[in-house]
């Protein structure tokens, strides 16, 4: 019936919104977990005085991440309204790197940057940061034995118009052509525990919603390059 149809549409919409929110909660949780560990190390022996508090913090953060994981298991990413502003790619990347710095250090990954782009992009800052976090965290996962992360931005015109590209390149495990066909599919993941398979599909949704494009080149054993093209902000 019509009523059932509307109901199922509503449920689908709720699922999509939930996935977006849940995925956004994931990155701050990773930052909290990483920094909690750093604080404990910095405190040294004094950390013992706050043993109970640290245990509570660990437990509760773990609980949040389990809830988020469960939500993600049935929900799908959704497009939610964004607030658009003009940004220089290099500024947004400069704000993003500290969020993942502890992961880069731990994995012994060096970061090289070259920013030649003079054009600005029109995007929601949080969303653009989310895309960069997704790509950088994937690159880190692809380089368990260390390597180099290279981030380049430059002005470039596609057939579709003026814009700029941001390339995020790793020297990691790379991907086969078979894998490349599936990586933007929601829930496709090769990571057993920490994988949601939503990072790239959400990134692609966010970029294409701003009229941009995301593409990938990869060679097994050599590494991977993700290219984001975004139209110039006018
Ligand atoms: P998740 O990271 O949760 O698995 P993603 O959608 O971000 O979800 O990525 C999907 C899959 O694409 C990953 O599980 C991995 O197999 C592959 N992948 C993504 N980025 C890279 C990369 N830089 N190097 C190698 N494989 C990658």
pLDDT tens column, 150-193: 999 999 998 878 999 999 999 999 999 999 999 998 888 998 77
Residue whose CA is closest, atom 17 of ligand 1?
183
- pLDDT for residue 62: 84
Distance 198 CA to ligand 1 centre (A): 9
Strands 109-115 and 121-123: unpaired
202/196 Cα distance (integer angstroms) = 11
Q: Is residue 115 within 8 Å of residue 148, measured between CB atoms?
A: no
Q: With a 6 A CB cut-off, is 134 part of the ligand 1 pocket?
A: yes
113/92 Cα distance (integer angstroms) = 13
CA distances from 228 to 167, 203, 216 (A): 6, 10, 9
Give the confidence band of 80 by pLDDT, cuts at 50, 70, 90: very low
Mutate to test the pocket of ligand 1, among 141, 167, 184 (most ligand atoms within 8 A of CB): 141
Q: Is residue 54 within 8 Å of residue 41, measured between CB atoms?
A: no
Mutate to test the pocket of ligand 1, among 19, 22, 183 (most ligand atoms within 8 A of CB): 183
Q: With a 6 A CB cut-off, is 184 part of the ligand 1 pocket?
A: no
- pLDDT for residue 81: 39
Q: Is residue 27 within 8 Å of residue 133, measured between CB atoms?
A: yes
Question: What interface predicted TM-score (ipTM) does this complex get?
Answer: 0.99
Where are the alpha helices (H) located in the chain, listed in sequence order?
Answer: 2-43, 51-74, 89-106, 125-142, 177-180, 199-209
CA distances from 119 to 72, 140, 154, 156 (A): 36, 28, 8, 9
């Amino acid at each position: 019936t019509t009523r059932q149809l509307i109901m199922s549409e509503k449920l689908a919409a709720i699922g999509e919104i939930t996935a977006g929110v849940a995925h956004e909660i994931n990155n701050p949780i990773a930052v909290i977990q990483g920094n909690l560990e750093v604080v404990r190390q910095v405190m040294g022996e004094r950390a013992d005085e706050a043993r109970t508090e640290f245990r509570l913090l660990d437990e509760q953060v773990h609980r949040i991440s389990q809830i988020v994981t469960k939500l993600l298991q049935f929900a799908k990413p959704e497009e939610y309204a964004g607030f658009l502003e003009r940004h220089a790619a290099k500024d947004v990347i400069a704000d993003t790197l500290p969020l993942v710095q502890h992961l880069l250090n731990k994995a012994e990954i060096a970061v090289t940057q070259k920013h030649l782009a003079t054009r600005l992009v029109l995007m929601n800052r949080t969303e653009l940061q989310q895309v960069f976090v997704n790509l950088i965290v994937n690159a880190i996962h692809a380089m368990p034995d260390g390597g180099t992360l290279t981030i380049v931005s430059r002005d470039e015109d596609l057939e579709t118009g003026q814009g700029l590209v941001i390339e995020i390149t790793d020297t990691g495990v790379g991907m086969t052509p078979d894998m490349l066909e599936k990586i933007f599919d929601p829930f496709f993941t090769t990571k057993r525990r920490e994988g949601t398979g939503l990072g790239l599909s959400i990134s692609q949704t966010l970029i294409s919603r701003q009229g941009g494009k995301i593409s990938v080149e990869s060679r097994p054993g050599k590494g991977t390059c993700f290219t984001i093209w975004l139209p110039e902000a006018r």
